[in-house]
Amino acid sequence: MSTFRAKTVAERSEILANTLVNGEYRHMVVRCTSLSAGAKPGQFFQLLCPPPPGGAPFLRRPMSLYGADPATNTVEFLYKIAGAGTRGLTTLGVGDTVEILGPLGRGFTLAPNLRHIVAVGRGAGLATLGPLAQAAQAAGIGVSAVLSARRPDLMVSDELFRSRGATVLTVTDFEGTSGPAHVERLLRNLITENRCDAFYTCGSSRLLRVQQRLAHEFGLPGQVAMEQQMACGLGMCFCCVRDFNVGDEIAHKRVCWDGPVFDMMEALP
């Protein structure tokens, strides 16, 4: 085991579960140190994936935190099977080990004056926003979640949000309900009902633009977890630099080091 910086550690973690959730996603739970189990919503880990048959992943894979429990020293990941790295993860069974590096990055923050927040996620954002429900519940903050997917059977995190007392609204491409215009109507209704003190979002540039427009119109704050290809995850390689609108200037920031969570109004979709 080796440390890279304060509050970050690389460790071999035992697989406790690695189960199929639906046709695209798997849920992995690993036993870890108390440091890793103290990860905050919005932070991520770099996983050293084993090579799958016929593949050889070279770099670690960034993986959003899906859950962390200091009481049991476990962290959870919800990952989509997409390439050699994630295919390699599917070969791991209970009792096997995987090297994880983290927790990394800056996560979500919940201001003490918030009464009710709105979480809007799609794709990988469904996993990234999941831990926010637990943090909000612990802080006595109500949550409404608008979760988007291609089809109902690919929806994830909806039961997690419900189990934490959140109101969940699901929209899908299959049902024709996931378009920006319809989601904007849902968000406007939540604002009218005084159930939106801030936006938290990840996973869709189209829906991010909707929230930015509403945030500007109603003077609401917001935070976005940005998705970006990464190499080191430690801010050294500058692989994940993106442009952000800071004041009247365009600033270049590293998603892994300066984020991945940013002020929603600074993000350029």
In a domain, 204, yes or no: yes
Same domain, 89 and 124: no
pLDDT (mean) for 129-145: 95
93 shares a domain with 191: no
Specify the CATH number for the domain of residue 72: 2.40.30.10
On whether both 84 and 123 belong to a single domain, the answer is no
Asked if 202 and 127 count as a contact pair (C-beta separation under 8 A), the reply is: no
Cβ neighbours, 10 Å, residue 238: 12
Number of domains in the chain: 2
The verdict on 139 and 208 lying in the same domain is yes
Whether 47 and 135 share a structural domain: no
pTM, two decimal places: 0.92
* Chain CA centroid to CA 135, Å: 13
pLDDT tens column, 155-203: 989 999 999 999 999 999 999 999 999 999 999 999 999 999 999 999 9
Q: Is the pLDDT of residue 5 over 50?
A: no
pLDDT class for 102, splitting at 50, 70, 90? Answer: very high
The answer to whether residues 230 and 120 belong to one domain is yes
Domain span at residue 217? 116-266
Pairing status of strand 198-202 against strand 116-122:
parallel
Of 42-56, 82-96, 173-187, the least confident: 42-56
Both 131 and 160 in one domain: the answer is yes
Residue 111: inside a domain: no
pLDDT of residue 55 exceeding 80: no
Per-residue pLDDT at 1 exceeds 50: no
- Choosing from 76, 104, 132, the residue where a domain stops is 104
* Residue 110 belongs to a domain: no
Domain membership of residue 68 (yes or no) is yes
CATH number at residue 158: 3.40.50.80
The answer to the question of residue 56 being in a domain is yes
Is the pLDDT at 58 greater than 50? The verdict is: yes
Q: Are residues 71 and 128 in the same domain?
A: no
Q: Are residues 99 and 128 in the same domain?
A: no
Rounded distance, CA 110 to CA 34, Å? 22
* 122 and 242 assigned to the same domain: yes
From the DSSP assignment, how many helices (H) and strands (E) are in the chain?
A: 8, 16
Residue at a domain's end among 78, 104, 130: 104
Q: What is the pLDDT of residues 235-261, one digit of tens each?
A: 888 989 999 999 889 999 999 999 999
Q: Which of 104, 129, 153 is a domain's end point?
A: 104
Whether 131 and 180 map to the same domain: the answer is yes
In sequence order, what are the residues at sequence separation of 6 or more whose Cβ sits closer than 8 angstroms to the Cβ of residue 256? 44, 62, 104, 105, 228, 230, 232, 233, 234, 235, 240
Residue 215 shares a structural domain with residue 160: yes
